[in-house]
Structure 1
Amino acid sequence: MKQAINSTTYPDLYAHATAFRMEKTWDTFAIARLIRDRSETGKTPAFLYLGREESELLRQHLSEAFGEESVTTLHESYYMGLKIITVDQESYISTGGSKQSRTIQAPSYSAAS
């Protein structure tokens, strides 16, 4: 018998209030600030939880950048490296989960003799 395992952890919408509210347009800087605030040394959030309103704002934002036909759904989409999860709430913004941050290092070269 197969068991489905869902590794996505959904937030307790009643215990964790929305981080902030967007007005009428998608706020890229506010999302970047939220991710930075929720990050620790070497770890960043893995998921971006959005309510229905915020999911629609993000879809509109991406449609303007990439064309409406290229963004018909946010299913299996990532934004700023976080997997987008739409929660069953009219308005909600939060992050969750944890993943290791990759650090970019300059390549090391050895001197030829």
Structure 2
Amino acid sequence: MSDITQAPAATGAMPTSYRPPPRFPLPALGSTPFAILAIILWGLAFGGSATQLQTAAGAATGEHADAAIAMVTTAFNLAIFAAGAVGAVFVDGVGAKALPAAIVALAAAALVAVGFGRRAAFRPGR
């Protein structure tokens, strides 16, 4: 029986102890239709969030709506910059294999923040 650490023989045959790595559960991963579907779902989920936040900020601040909407736009741009910079440092330092765990942790933190702030932010009738 051949050792897995040895290179395959010149015949191109794989060592007998070779096992292919497990596949990701999504069969279409890496395919164009899967990428298009992901883009469509992302757009449906978050495409209108900037407009909704600007409208809510403008309604909540009354006569200072122009300043509030400018701050929302600035916050979005800073968040995009910060996410890119922190993500690059993270991937360079820890590696891309840690990204899924980091994404789940950040999503959980965002869910907790939304849960605590949902009653305080933009109350109806205000």
Same-fold call, TM cutoff 0.5: no
Which structure's relative contact order is higher, taking Cα pairs within 8 Å and 6+ residues apart?
Answer: 1
Work out which of the two has the higher radius of gyration on C-alpha atoms and give 1 or 2: 2
Structure with bigger helix share is: 2
